[in-house]
C-alpha cells in the first residue's frame, strides 16, 4: 500500500515535469523581468538542480507536510489551504457513502426478495436511471429544483457569509466540533449495540433495543447542539450540507441497491437457503440472516471499485454546489495556473483513496472470516 502511494507521488512528479518549460516561463511575457532575475528565481526554486535531486526534494518535502506555497492565494501555504478543505471533502464523501451503502443494502435485499413484482420493476428502472444519469446535469437539476424553485436549501457554498461576520467561531473550528460530536455519538451507539448483544440473544428484542439506543443517541446529540450557543452556526452549516450530500448519495445509492439485488439473486439460489426454508424458518429470517449476510460480501468488495467513482462524483458535486473542498480547489488551481495547489490537492485525493481502500479491506476481513484465516 505504502509502495503504491510512493509510485503515485512519482507519477504526479513526472506529470508535473513532463510539461515543456518550467514555472518561470510564466514570466517570459513580462518585459520588466530580465533574464537574470528569472535565472535567480530558478535557482531559488531549485529548478536548476538535476531532476533526481528535485524528485528527492519533492518526496521529502511531501512527507514533512510541506506542499509548497500557493501561487493564487499568495501568502498561504498549500498545506494550510488544504487543511481547511480536507474535512469538508472527507465529510462529503464519507456521509454520502455511508448513507448510500446503508440504505442501498437495506432496500436492495428487499427488492431482490420481491423479484417479479411491480415495485421491483419500478425500483430497478429508477435505479438504473440514477446509476447512469449524467451526474453534473443531475446535480444542476437538483440544485435548481430544491435550491431555486422550492427554496428549501441554499444555492451552494458552505456557509452564509453574512451570518458569520460577528462570531467568535471560525467555520473550520465549528465544523471540526460538529464532526467530532457526530463521531462520538457513533461510538456511543456502537458501544450500546455491543452491550445489547451481551444482554439479550433474541433478535427481535435486540432490534428494538438498538432502535431505541439509536434514537436516544440522536436525540441527545441534537439536544446538546440545540442548547449550545453555536446553534445558529451549526444549523447554517447543516443547512448547506444536506443537498450536496443527498445528491451524491442518490447516485451511489442506486448503484449499491442494484448490486445488492443481483448479489442477493445469486445467493438466493444457494442450497443453504433451501435448507433454511426446509427448516421452517420464516421468510424474514432467511432473507436477513441467511441470504443478506452472504450477499453483503460482493457489495463490500465493490466499495473498493466504487471509491474512484465517489471521489470523482465529489469533485463534480463540489463544482456545481460551490462546495469549498479539495475538488473545487483543484479546479480553481487549474484555472489560476496554481500548480502547487493542484499537485497538493491531487496528492491529498490519492491519500484519501488510499485510506478508503484500507477501510474497505479491513471491513471485508471483518465480514469474511475466510480472508482473516488466509
Partner 1 sequence: MLTEPTRPTEAERAPAVVVSQPYWRVRLSLAWRGLRRTWALFRQNSVGMIGLGIILLFLLGAIAHPILMATVWDPAVYHPVHGYDAVVIEKEVVEEVTDELTQIEVNEARLRTDPFVQVGDTLRMPQQPAPPSLRGEHPHLLGTDPQGRDILSQLLYSIRAAFILGALAAVMSVVVATTVGSVAAYFGGRTDSVLMRFSDLILLLPILPVLIVIGAYFQMNMPILAVTIGLFEGFGATAIVLKSQALQVSVKPFIDAARVAGGGHAHIIFRHLVPNVMPLSLLYMMFGVAGAIALESVLSFLGLLDIEMSWGVMLNVAQRQGYLLSGTRYWWLLFPAGLAVTFLAFAFFLVGRGMDEVINPRLRSR
Distance (Å, whole) CA 102 – CA 104:
6
Residues β-bridged to residue 247: none
Q: Which three cell numbers stand for residue 319?
A: 463544482
Output the smallest distance, CB 87 to partner 1, in A: 18
Q: Residues 101, 303: contact at Cβ < 8 Å?
A: yes
Q: Does residue 316 bind partner 1 (CB under 8 A)?
A: yes
Residue closer to partner 1, measured from CB, 171 or 344: 344
Nearest-angstrom CA–CA distance, 177 and 308: 28
Kindly state whether residue 319 participates in binding partner 1, applying the rule CB under 8 A. Answer: yes
Q: What is the enclosing helix (H) or strand (E) of 252?
A: helix 231-267
Residue window 133-152: x/- pattern of binding to partner 1, with contact defined by CB under 8 A: xxxxxx-xx-xxx-xxx---
Q: Is 31 exposed, middle or buried (0-12, 13-18, 19+ CB in 10 A)?
A: exposed
Cβ atoms of 323 and 153 within 8 Å: the answer is no
CA angle 80, 320, 89 (to 5 degrees): 35
Nearest distance, CB of residue 183 and partner 1, angstroms: 24
Instruction: Give 245 or 330: the residue with its C-beta nearer to partner 1.
Output: 330
Quote the least distance from Cβ 41 to partner 1, whole Å.
20
SS3 for 218?
helix
* Residue 346 contacts partner 1 per CB under 8 A: yes
Task: Please tell me the count of residues contacting partner 1 according to CB under 8 A.
Answer: 54
Q: For partner 1, which stretch binds (CB under 8 A), given 63-71, 98-106, 242-250, 330-338? A: 330-338
- 370 near partner 1, judged by CB under 8 A: no
Candidates 58-66, 197-205, 235-243, 301-309; binding stretch for partner 1 (CB under 8 A): 301-309
Let me know: does 30 contact 364? Beta carbons within 8 Å: no
Q: What are the residues binding partner 1 (CB under 8 A)? A: 3-5, 7-8, 11, 15, 19, 115-116, 128-129, 131-138, 140-141, 143-145, 147-149, 155, 262, 265-266, 269, 304-305, 307-308, 311-312, 315-316, 319, 327, 330-331, 334, 342, 345-346, 349-350, 353-354, 357
Amino acid at each position: 500500500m505504502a509502495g503504491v502511494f510512493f509510485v503515485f507521488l512519482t507519477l504526479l512528479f513526472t506529470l508535473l515535469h513532463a510539461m515543456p518549460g518550467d514555472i518561470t516561463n510564466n514570466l517570459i511575457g513580462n518585459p520588466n523581468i530580465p533574464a537574470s532575475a528569472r535565472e535567480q528565481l530558478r535557482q531559488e526554486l531549485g529548478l536548476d538542480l538535476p531532476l533526481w535531486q528535485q524528485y528527492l526534494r519533492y518526496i521529502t518535502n511531501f512527507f514533512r507536510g510541506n506542499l509548497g506555497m500557493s501561487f493564487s492565494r499568495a501568502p498561504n501555504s498549500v498545506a494550510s489551504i488544504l487543511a481547511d478543505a480536507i474535512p469538508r471533502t472527507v465529510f462529503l464523501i464519507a456521509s454520502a457513502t455511508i448513507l448510500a451503502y446503508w440504505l442501498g443494502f437495506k432496500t436492495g435485499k428487499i427488492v431482490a426478495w420481491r423479484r417479479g413484482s411491480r415495485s421491483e420493476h419500478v425500483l430497478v428502472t429508477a435505479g438504473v436511471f440514477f446509476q447512469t444519469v449524467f451526474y453534473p446535469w443531475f446535480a444542476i437539476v437538483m440544485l435548481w429544483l430544491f435550491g431555486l424553485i422550492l427554496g428549501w436549501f441554499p444555492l451552494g457554498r458552505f456557509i452564509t457569509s453574512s451570518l458569520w461576520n460577528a462570531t467568535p467561531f471560525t467555520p473550520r473550528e465549528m465544523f471540526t466540533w460538529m464532526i467530532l460530536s457526530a463521531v462520538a455519538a457513533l461510538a456511543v451507539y456502537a458501544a450500546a449495540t455491543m452491550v445489547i448483544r451481551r444482554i439479550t440473544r433474541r433478535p427481535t428484542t435486540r432490534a428494538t433495543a438498538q432502535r431505541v439506543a439509536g434514537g436516544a443517541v440522536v436525540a441527545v446529540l441534537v439536544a446538546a447542539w440545540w442548547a449550545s450557543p453555536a446553534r445558529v452556526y451549526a444549523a447554517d452549516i447543516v443547512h448547506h450540507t444536506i443537498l450536496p450530500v443527498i445528491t451524491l448519495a442518490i447516485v451511489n445509492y442506486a448503484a449499491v441497491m442494484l448490486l445488492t439485488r443481483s448479489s442477493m439473486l445469486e445467493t438466493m439460489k444457494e442450497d443453504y437457503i433451501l435448507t433454511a426454508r426446509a427448516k421452517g424458518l420464516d421468510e424474514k429470517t432467511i432473507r436477513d440472516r441467511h441470504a443478506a449476510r452472504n450477499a453483503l460480501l460482493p457489495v463490500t468488495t465493490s466499495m473498493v471499485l466504487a471509491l474512484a467513482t465517489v471521489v470523482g462524483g465529489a469533485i463534480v458535486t463540489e463544482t456545481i454546489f460551490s462546495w469549498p473542498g479539495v475538488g473545487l480547489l483543484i479546479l480553481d488551481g487549474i484555472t489560476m495556473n496554481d500548480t502547487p495547489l493542484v499537485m497538493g490537492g491531487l496528492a491529498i485525493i490519492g491519500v484519501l483513496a488510499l485510506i478508503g481502500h484500507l477501510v474497505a479491506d479491513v471491513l471485508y476481513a471483518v465480514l469474511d472470516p475466510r480472508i482473516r484465516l488466509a
